[in-house]
């Protein structure tokens, strides 16, 4: 299953031609050739051209650029309260690539591959190879899901589950559909935002055939990420009866402004995507420069509540290791 007729290239080609060097990224944008070798060594640059095309040239403060450009601040000495596993993933592993944190649902880390490397990624140091998420063998996860009859929902995450080819998604979906107590499957994905042509008629047809109710949770942080190509692919999902929610991360210098957040939320609801969560930054090592104080976040939510209808205001949350759910920040 490849791209649709309107796509300039297939999504696989988009992955292959992505920008993989901060030097190249800066040169293509007309910026000074600064480097952050430590940051890039620890977490390489990966920016698809589809996303790059939305970044303003010659603007080092562009909010999309800030999300993907390695900078020297990532190399700073360990910051108090920041760690390689800020949400306690490793303590929740119960089988190969399977996390069971919350009642009624479990999460499969399907792959370590992503369509973009976001510099604030809370799994930027996740040991994908060690936990089996780089293999094609989901048997340990499937066996656990089959035995855990209290579960009714599976979250497919990563990395990004939509970097899997359709044949692997089909095989994984078939395995999940054969587990009688499962009712829903949820895709946590940034691919529709960064490489929108990943959403194809063929993929949608497979998901529509499933006995499992399918939900998509996408990840956009700024209205500038939502161009016409992205919105048209999100509409394909929604028109097919697949609900689409958005979760954003509150990021200093990117969206820590009421007007910016209001624009994002308005653009989402205008195109039938529900603002779901606004996440406080997960305190992963290397991302401290993105952190916004919770008091600022609360004030931003209060301002959104004044400006927008209730359904357009995301829930402000933080994920804390060991807790039974995400914690709402009030």
Q: Which residue has the tokens 């357009």?
A: 312
Please state at what angle helix 201-209 crosses helix 228-239, rounded to 10 degrees.
30
CB neighbours of residue 249 within 10 Å: 22
Instruction: Say if residue 265 carries a ligand binding annotation.
Output: no
Structure tokens, 274: 């529900």
d(CA 44, CA 180): 41
Task: Give every CB contact of residue 147 below 8 A, 6+ residues apart in sequence.
Answer: none
d(CA 304, CA 294): 15
CB neighbours of residue 241 within 10 Å: 11
Query: Among 240, 310, 304, 232, which residue's Cα sits nearest to residue 274?
Result: 310
Lay out the sheet containing 315-318: strands in order across: 93-95, 98-99, 105-109, 153-157, 184-189, 213-218, 244-249, 274-279, 315-318, 327-328
Query: Among 242, 211, 285, which residue's Cα sits nearest to residue 38?
Result: 285
The answer to whether 182 touches 136, Cβ cutoff 8 Å, is no
Instruction: Say if residue 121 carries a ligand binding annotation.
Output: yes
The answer to whether 216 touches 237, Cβ cutoff 8 Å, is yes
**Binding site: which residues?**
114, 118, 121
**Binding site for [4Fe-4S] cluster: which residues?**
114, 118, 121
């Amino acid at each position: 299953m490849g791209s649709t007729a309107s796509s300039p290239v297939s999504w696989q080609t988009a992955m292959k031609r992505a920008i993989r060097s901060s030097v190249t990224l800066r040169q293509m944008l007309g910026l000074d050739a600064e480097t952050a070798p430590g940051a890039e060594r620890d977490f390489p640059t990966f920016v698809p051209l589809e996303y790059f095309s939305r970044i303003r040239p010659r603007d080092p403060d562009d909010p999309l650029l800030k999300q993907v450009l390695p900078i020297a601040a990532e190399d700073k000495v360990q910051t108090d309260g920041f760690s390689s596993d800020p949400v306690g993933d490793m303590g929740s592993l119960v089988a190969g690539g399977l996390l069971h944190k919350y009642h009624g649902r479990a999460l499969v880390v399907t792959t370590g591959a992503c369509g973009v490397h976001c510099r604030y990624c809370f799994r930027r140091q996740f040991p994908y190879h060690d936990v089996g998420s780089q293999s094609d063998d989901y048997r340990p996860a499937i066996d656990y899901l089959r035995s855990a009859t209290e579960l009714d929902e599976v979250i497919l995450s990563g990395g990004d589950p939509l970097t899997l080819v359709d044949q692997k998604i089909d095989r994984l979906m078939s395995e999940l559909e054969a587990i009688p107590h499962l009712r829903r499957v949820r895709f946590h994905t940034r691919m529709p935002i960064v490489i929108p042509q990943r959403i194809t008629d063929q993929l949608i047809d497979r998901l529509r055939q499933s006995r499992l109710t399918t939900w998509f949770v996408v990840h956009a942080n700024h209205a500038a990420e939502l161009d016409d190509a992205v919105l048209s692919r999100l509409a394909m999902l929604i028109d097919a009866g697949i609900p689409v929610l958005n979760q954003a991360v509150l990021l200093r210098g990117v969206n820590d402004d009421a007007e910016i957040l209001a624009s994002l939320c308005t653009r989402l609801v205008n195109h039938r995507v529900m603002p779901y969560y606004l996440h406080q930054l997960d305190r992963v090592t290397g991302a401290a420069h993105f952190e916004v104080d919770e008091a600022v976040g609360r004030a931003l939510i209060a301002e959104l509540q004044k400006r927008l209808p209730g359904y357009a205001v995301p829930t402000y949350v933080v994920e804390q290791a060991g807790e039974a759910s995400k914690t709402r920040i009030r």
